Amino acid sequence: MADLRLRRLLPALEWLSTYRRTDVISDAMAALIVTVMLIPQSLAYAMLAGLPAEVGLYASMLPLLGYALFGSSRTLAVGPVAVASLMTAAAVSKVAEPGTDQYLAAAVILAVLSGVMLSAMAVLRLGWIANLLSHPVIAGFITASGILIATSQLKHILGISAGGHTLIEIFSQLAPQVAATHIPTLLIGLSALAFLFWARKKLKPLLQKLKLPPLAVDLLARAGPALAVILSTVVVARLNLDQQGVRVVGHVPGGLPELGVPQFDAGLWQALLVPAFLISLIGFVESVSVAQTLAARRRQQINPNHELAGLGAANIGSALSGGFPVTGGFARSVVNFDAGAVTPMAGIFTAIGIGLTTLFLTGWFTFLPNATLAATIIVAVLSLVDFGIIRRTWQYSRIDFSAMMLTMLGVFTIGVEAGVVMGVATSLLLFLWRTSSPHIAVVGQVPGTEHFRNVNRHKVITSPTVLSVRVDESLYFANARFLEDSIYKSALQNPQTRHVVLQCSAVNLIDASALESLEALSQRLQDAGIMLHLSEIKGPVMDALNKVDFVEHLSGNIYLSHYSALAELDPETTL
Amino acid sequence: MADLRLRRLLPALEWLSTYRRTDVISDAMAALIVTVMLIPQSLAYAMLAGLPAEVGLYASMLPLLGYALFGSSRTLAVGPVAVASLMTAAAVSKVAEPGTDQYLAAAVILAVLSGVMLSAMAVLRLGWIANLLSHPVIAGFITASGILIATSQLKHILGISAGGHTLIEIFSQLAPQVAATHIPTLLIGLSALAFLFWARKKLKPLLQKLKLPPLAVDLLARAGPALAVILSTVVVARLNLDQQGVRVVGHVPGGLPELGVPQFDAGLWQALLVPAFLISLIGFVESVSVAQTLAARRRQQINPNHELAGLGAANIGSALSGGFPVTGGFARSVVNFDAGAVTPMAGIFTAIGIGLTTLFLTGWFTFLPNATLAATIIVAVLSLVDFGIIRRTWQYSRIDFSAMMLTMLGVFTIGVEAGVVMGVATSLLLFLWRTSSPHIAVVGQVPGTEHFRNVNRHKVITSPTVLSVRVDESLYFANARFLEDSIYKSALQNPQTRHVVLQCSAVNLIDASALESLEALSQRLQDAGIMLHLSEIKGPVMDALNKVDFVEHLSGNIYLSHYSALAELDPETTL
Alpha-carbon gap, residue A372 to A184, rounded angstroms: 12
pLDDT band for position A112 (50/70/90)? very high
Q: CA torsion angle for A256, A262, A263, A266 (degrees, to 10)?
A: 160
Average pLDDT value for residue range A171-183: 91
Q: Is the pLDDT of residue A2 over 70?
A: no
Overall average pLDDT of the B193-213 stretch: 90
Say which of A135, A439, A516 has its CB closest to residue B508.
A439
Q: Are B444 and B452 in contact (CB under 8 A)?
A: yes
Q: How far apart are alpha carbons A565 and A572 in whole angstroms?
A: 13
Domain limits, chain A: 2-427, 440-569
- Per-residue pLDDT at B514: 92
Q: Distance between CA atoms of A512 and B395, rounded to whole angstroms?
A: 10
pLDDT bracket for residue A143 (50, 70, 90)? very high
Q: B567 or A3: which carries more pLDDT confidence? A: B567
Could you tell me if A85 and A48 are in contact, meaning their C-beta atoms sit under 8 angstroms apart? Answer: yes
Scored b (16 or more CB within 10 A) or e, B353-384 reads bbbebbeeebebbbbbbbbbbbbbbbbbbeeb
CB B186 within 8 A of CB B192: no
Q: What number of CA atoms fall less than 13 Å from residue A63's CA on the CB side?
A: 33
B18 close to A (CB below 8 A): no
A457 touching B, CB under 8 A? no
**Nearest CA-CA partner of A77 in A349, A447, A371, A396:** A349
CATH architecture of B440-569: 2-Layer Sandwich (3.30)
Rounded CA-CA distance B403/B391 in Å is 14
Query: Hey, which residues 372-431 in chain A have their CB within 8 Å of chain B?
Result: 392-393, 395-397, 399-401, 427-429, 431
Residue B266 has pLDDT above 80, yes or no: yes
pLDDT of residue B299: 74
Tell me the sheet residues that pair with A328.
A78
Mean pLDDT of B391-419: 92
- Residue A440's DSSP bridge partners are A471
A551/B contact by beta carbon, under 8 A: no
Predicted local distance difference test score (pLDDT) of residue B265: 82
Q: Assess A434–B contact: CB distance below 8 Å, yes or no.
A: yes
Residue A1 pLDDT level (bands cut at 50, 70, 90): very low
- In the predicted structure, residue B4 carries a pLDDT above the cut 70: no
Distance CA A517, CA A523 (A): 10
Q: Report CA B92 to chain centroid distance, whole Å.
A: 20
Across residues A220-231, what is the average pLDDT?
89
Q: Cα-flanking dihedrals φ and ψ of residue A549, to 5°? A: -85, 35
pLDDT in tens, B479-514: 888 888 889 989 988 889 999 999 998 788 899 999
Average pLDDT for residues A504-510, to the nearest whole number? Answer: 84
pLDDT in tens, A354-395: 999 999 999 889 999 999 999 999 998 988 898 999 999 999
Q: Give the 3-state secondary structure of residue A457.
A: coil
Cβ separation A527–B296 shorter than 8 A: yes
Taking CB atoms and an 8 Å cut-off, how many pairs form between chains A and B? 152
Could you write out the DSSP letters of every residue in A505-540?
Answer: TT---B-HHHHHHHHHHHHHHHHTT-EEEEE---HH
Higher pLDDT, B51 or A126: B51
ipTM value greater than 0.90 = no
A493 interface with B at CB cutoff 8 Å: no
Distances (CA, A) of B82 to B4, B88, B169, B257, B347: 37, 10, 20, 22, 19
Task: Quickly count helices (H) and strands (E) in chain A.
Answer: 28, 8
- Contact of B48 with B85, CB cutoff 8 Å: yes
Q: Is residue B489 less than 8 Å (CB to CB) from chain A?
A: yes
> A interface mutation test: which of B72, B75, B124, B134 has the most A CBs within 10 A?
B134
Residue A80: predicted pLDDT? 96
Alpha-carbon distance of B538 to A472, in angstroms, equals 14
HSE-CB at B251 with a 13 A cutoff on CA atoms is 2
**Nearest Cα to A285, choosing from B369, B517, B313?**
B517
CA distance B28 to B34: 10
Q: Tell me if B541 sits within 8 A of B506, measured CB to CB.
A: no
pLDDT at A280: 95
Strands B499-503 and B440-445: unpaired
Cβ–Cβ < 8 Å for A258, A109: no
Rounded Cα gap, residues B551 and B545, in angstroms: 7
What integer is the mean pLDDT of A536-545?
Answer: 88
Q: The pTM is what? A: 0.80
Confidence at residue A3, expressed as pLDDT on a 0 to 100 scale: 61
Say whether B132 and A432 touch across the interface (CB within 8 A).
yes
Other beta carbons within 10 angstroms of residue A266's beta carbon come to: 7
Q: What is the mean pLDDT of residues B265-269?
A: 85
The residue type at B371: A
Helix B477-493 with A416-435: angle, nearest 10 deg: 80
Say whether pLDDT at B296 is over 90. Answer: no
Nearest-CB residue to B477 (from A131, A439, A520): A131
Mark residue A240 as left, alpha or beta (left: phi above 0; alpha: psi -120 to 50; beta: remaining): left
B399: chain A residues, CB-CB within 8 Å: 511
pLDDT tens-digit series, residues B341-354: 999 999 999 999 99
Mean pLDDT of A485-494: 90
Contact flag B131-A436 (C-beta cutoff 8 Å):
yes
Q: What is the C-alpha to C-alpha distance for residues A308 and A285, in angstroms, rounded to an integer?
A: 10
pLDDT in tens, A193-217: 999 999 988 888 888 898 888 888 8
Instruction: Summarize the confidence of residues B250-254 as an average pLDDT.
Output: 90
Cα–Cα distance, A135 to A400 (Å, whole number):
9
For A433, the closest of B128, B476, B544 (CB atoms) is B128
Q: Residue B74 and residue B86: Cα distance in Å, rounded?
A: 27
Give A386's contacts in chain B (Cβ within 8 Å).
none
From residue B515, alpha-carbon distances to A294, B442, B510 in Å are: 20, 21, 6
Q: Which of residues 241-300 of A touch B (CB under 8 A)?
A: 289, 292-293, 296-297, 299
Mean pLDDT for the stretch of residues B289-295: 85
What DSSP element (H or E) covers A441? Answer: strand A440-445
Give, as one character, the DSSP assignment of residue B264.
Answer: P
For residue B61, give the DSSP letter.
Answer: T
Angle of helix A183-198 relative to helix A224-239, nearest 10 degrees, comes to 160
Contact of B318 with B358, CB cutoff 8 Å? no
User: Is residue A466 helix, strand or coil?
Assistant: strand
Q: What is the pLDDT of residues B549-571, one digit of tens each?
A: 899 989 999 999 899 999 999 99
Give the dihedral of Cα atoms A483, A484, A485, A488; nearest 10 deg: 110
**Average pLDDT, rounded, for chain A:** 90
Does A130 sit within 8 Å of B431, measured CB to CB? no
DSSP helix/strand/coil, B471? strand
Which tens digit of pLDDT belongs to each residue from A144-161? 999 999 999 999 999 998
Residue A99 class from Cβ within 10 Å (0-12 exposed, 13-18 middle, 19+ buried)? exposed
Q: What is the DSSP string of B489-523?
A: HHHHHSTT--EEEEE-TT---B-HHHHHHHHHHHH
Q: What pLDDT is attached to residue B1?
A: 45
Q: Measured between alpha carbons, how far is A132 from A143 in angstroms, rounded to an integer?
A: 18
